[in-house]
Structure 1
Amino acid sequence: MVHFVGAGPGAPDLITVRGQALLKEADIIIYAGSLVNKELLEAAPSHCRIYNSALMTLEEVVDVMIQGEKEEKKIVRLHTGDPCLYGAIREQMDRLEEEGISYEVCPGVSSFCGAAASLQAEYTLPGISQTVIITRMEGRTPVPEREKLRSLAAHQSTMVLFLSTGLLVQVREELLAGGLAPDTPCAICYKATWEDEKIVWGVLDELPELAERAGIRKTALIVVGKVLESEYELSRLYAADFTTEFRQGRKDEGQK
């Protein structure tokens, strides 16, 4: 059995209880060494064999899994955040299925959630944005034409950009071309929830300069949107006159 486990956004105590239990029982751990907090590996038993996938190809990762399965070992594939976002797990799962090896996924707290916590922000504010677009700037790996940043920016929704810190000049150009105003609030979240976390606030027009002044060149999320401002509408869910399945709304005095 291979367990794909989400390591969480960085802080070692933000892995799920299930994920930590799987680490404690693992015979083999293959972890994404470029992003996963190595403190998490301290939970592994002394006999556990540990591999850093940052130094490996897909074929080498799969070979370790296949050999571990032959040895009847418990294997943990430890991915940063939640494996479903930019985790490249589908290609691993397909190889495992070809080999007849069973697997399961243990979800994790994504870094975009960790960033929101560090920013003390709500991505979906009434009257401002009810949609979160999670995407990245096109670089060496292309994105579908319909998902170019300028097209997505036209929605005026909250945007969270992964894997784009080294392309901030292009990010700014694309978002401005998509209709976002130069003074649209933004934040750069470097290693959110880690001990050396760094948060930089500003506006879209100065995005590359913000990162440059802070010395941030990688391992950061970019959050863009008016939800980072202070003005918004109150939620109707908790309004006194709003009736729900659990609470009867009250009419204001003078209403019939």
Structure 2
Amino acid sequence: MSEDMEEVLTGGNVAAEVVRVGATVRKPSLAQTAGVEAVLTHLADFEGAPRTLGRDERGRHVLEYVPGAVADTMPAFSLDELRRVGRLIRELHDAMESFQAPPDIAWQTLVPEPSGGDLIGHNDLAPWNLIRDGQRWVFIDWDNAGPSTRLWDLGYAATAFVPFAAGGDVEVDGPRLRALADGYGLNLEQRLAFPAQIAARTSGAHELLVRGHRTGEQPWARLYAEGHADYWGPAAAYIKKHHDTWIAALIANYPSS
């Protein structure tokens, strides 16, 4: 590809046209872009995030282009791969503990954590936002970064990576959830609280789509029309129904249980 040729990239929902130019990605500047830049600057030594490279002559946010395959185009994750995802998210959260947000940052907080959040999280940790480039795994699309908590951010990842869905098999999903939690290193208190947080975060995603349908707010109205709420609502119900099963899977043979 020529260094000045623009290739339109697909898959994002928040920003308008996103393009690749050589070894970079260019995204329109949004209200939350300054916050995203601050987060990615802070994460410069974290291999699981793309580098932020400033703005171009059109004011677009310039980021490192990460080659590789989007994880949702690949076979379902093995238990070992789920543990690796958990470790990667733990490393991200540990790195963000020392982040000091600049004043007057406008975050794109779509599904706010009920207690307000004490950590700036990615808030869209999912296979469709994970690029696997050999040994490097990178989370992209940081436009929804904002106040969160460890369990709130990880809860969305659990629904997406296990994945949870209506009609799922608890005998399969329980061990997969356990692998993610073990990779992250959840303690006993966190394991006991985790299933309720997953259910609440999944319900929040459904409510966001329903609200977009009612108000016309994009891209949520479009995603609702495309049937995404038909996944998130029943998935939340499935997670809630089997709360005790998830607890049992998370604490079985746990050292402090």
Say whether the fold is shared (TM-score over 0.5): no
Q: Which has the higher helix share?
A: 2
TM-score (norm 1): 0.30
Q: Which has the higher strand share?
A: 1
Greater C-alpha radius of gyration: 1
